[in-house]
Structure 1
Amino acid sequence: MNQWMTLFKKEMLEMSRNFKWIWVPLTFIMIAVKEPLTLYYMPQIIDSLGGLPEGAVIELPVPSAGEALAASLSQFNTFGVLIIVLITMGTIAGERKSGVAGLILVKPVSYAWFVTAKWASSMILIWISYFLSYFLSWYYVGVLFEFISFMDFLQSFFVNGIWLTLIVTVVILFNTFMKSPGAVGFISIGIIVILSILSSSLPHLLEWSPALLSAYANAFIMGSNLPDELLPSIIVSVIMITLSLLASIAIFKRRELA
């Protein structure tokens, strides 16, 4: 366990030196907070653009607090996913390509510890950034519109967080058998997009898909009935996360030994 902690501290220190603890949370915050502010001030924004006939009156329906928070949540599944892929696509592939991984693994270092330390450090960075940004979005929605129950906020936070965790794990998986961070990012985004499109297009066939967790999370903040498929979808996601992590360790070990 001491070996794992050493690897974990190395990853945390490296993220500090790369300023990830600064720009990743700030980027997430800008993505999340932008949505409620834009929705609230949309009439003023349109009016300031000008070009409307004299006497024209802009009347836009005022979104509910649930709709505003759901809009913020959707940003994590577009721009948020892109950021997650960008910051994790070189987690292992970059070190394999530069030879750093080889130098570390020459010593009696466990392959499982090596992979899981990188996975855990990435998870902590992303979950902290995700919570700070989503919490601030919830706060601004409450100030501008109406406060949503904090318990509903937490439930939606954890449900959507499981989907983001799966994305991180899948990117780590591709890191283990590719040496090009660019290829890892391209293929990861492609698979995520395909899964999301199929899940939204065929919800009756893929109702347990992890890609639908973000849609199910909206049920908490919109005050609607929880879908029956929520729990099976969470179970499938946890199984996929576990299998992907185990596969990452097995593939990485076999490739490095080869």
Structure 2
Amino acid sequence: MNSFIALFKKETMEFSKTYKFLIIVTVFLILSILSPLTAKFMPDIMAQFLPKEVAESFPDATALDSWAQFFKNFSQIGLFVVALLFAGTLIHERTEGTLIILLTKGLSRSTVVLAKTIFAMLIWTVMYWFSFAVTYFYTWYYWKNDHVEHLGLAVGNLWLFGLVLISVILLGNVLFKSIYANLLWTAFFVIVWFVVSIFPKAADFNILRLASDSNNLLQGLVETDEYTWIYTIAIGLIVLMLLLSVRVFNKKAIS
């Protein structure tokens, strides 16, 4: 436990020293503020450049528009930033040789994988829910009387998909020595689920819906009980990726 805590503190210090913490705070804060502001003021901005008849046909912005922008921003830009920040979390230490020093001092490989995984998931969790709180405040401020159905479920779905993606990224850190290779591995994982989405019968098992179904869920176009198998598969993938990361890393030469 002491070695785990020590490694966790080391991860925190390095994340701050390399400005990664500043990057994720800045990007996530901007995205969370822009979500309601874009929904509120974009129609007025567009109206300045369009014919009056077209501008007047725009519907009034609602809280639903704000949350649609939130899910768009974080399912695309937010998760992409997370992938970039953690794509080299273990690769850097392997290539620079600093990991060898830690391992020769008695630190177990499984502790390294576990600490880095939990750290990455904790950063994503804290920053994501902080961003949600910021967006929630601004959305409430502009649309106090608007009630959005199934908001908690939609936000939780995207959070869970982020955890799955992080587990994939951490396995890539073990499998590859290149950040670019890890990013390609992560992109391949997402593309596989895009291919799965082509088949309607696989909809109940497609974890990509955790990130893509948000707007449909808020509009009541999706039944909440459709995610039972998706949750099971998502949690199973997280556990599987973690076990594979530990197993492969225990057998891998560090050089």
TM-score, with structure 2 as normaliser: 0.89
Whole-Å Cα distance in 2 between the matches of residues 202 and 148 of structure 1? 35
Which amino acid counterpart does residue 226 of structure 1 have in structure 2?
E
Residues 1:222 and 2:219 are matched in the alignment: yes
Of 42, 66, 69, which aligns to 2:67? Answer: 69
Which amino acid counterpart does residue 174 of structure 2 have in structure 1?
T
Name the count of aligned residue pairs: 254
Secondary structure class of the residue paired with 2:59: coil
* Cα displacement (A) at 1:153: 3.8
- Corresponding residue for residue 130 of structure 1: 128
Where do residues 28-177 of structure 1 align in structure 2 (5 Å cutoff)?
28-48=28-48, 50=49, 52=50, 56=53, 58-59=55-56, 60-146=58-144, 152-177=150-175
- Corresponding residue for residue 248 of structure 2: 251
Please give the per-residue CA displacement for 1:15-59, whole angstroms capped at 9, x wherever unaligned: 1212333220220121233232112112321234x4x55x65612
- Corresponding residue for residue 179 of structure 1: 177
* Cα displacement (A) at 1:199: 4.3
TM-score, with structure 1 as normaliser: 0.88
- Relative distance call for 1:56 and 1:160 in structure 2 (3 A) is closer
Whole-Å Cα distance in 1 between the matches of residues 127 and 88 of structure 2? 19
- Corresponding residue for residue 212 of structure 1: 209
Alignment gaps of 5+ in structure 1: none
Moved more, 3-12 or 20-29: 20-29
Of 197, 202, 205, which aligns to 2:199? Answer: 202
Whole-Å Cα distance in 1 between the matches of residues 177 and 231 of structure 2? 31
Decide whether the 8 Å contact of 2:161 with 2:234 is kept in 1: yes
Whole-Å Cα distance in 2 between the matches of residues 225 and 151 of structure 1? 11
- Relative distance call for 1:56 and 1:223 in structure 2 (3 A) is closer
Decide whether the 8 Å contact of 1:89 with 1:171 is kept in 2: yes
Decide whether the 8 Å contact of 2:39 with 2:65 is kept in 1: no
Alignment gaps of 5+ in structure 2: none
Please give the per-residue CA displacement for 1:177-222, whole angstroms capped at 9, x wherever unaligned: 2111121112212322x13422443343242121111244446643
* Cα displacement (A) at 1:78: 0.9
Decide whether the 8 Å contact of 1:138 with 1:147 is kept in 2: no
Could you tell me the percent identity over the aligned residues? 24
What RMSD, in angstroms, separates the aligned Cα atoms of the two structures?
A: 2.4
Whole-Å Cα distance in 2 between the matches of residues 96 and 203 of structure 1? 42
Whole-Å Cα distance in 2 between the matches of residues 195 and 254 of structure 1? 27
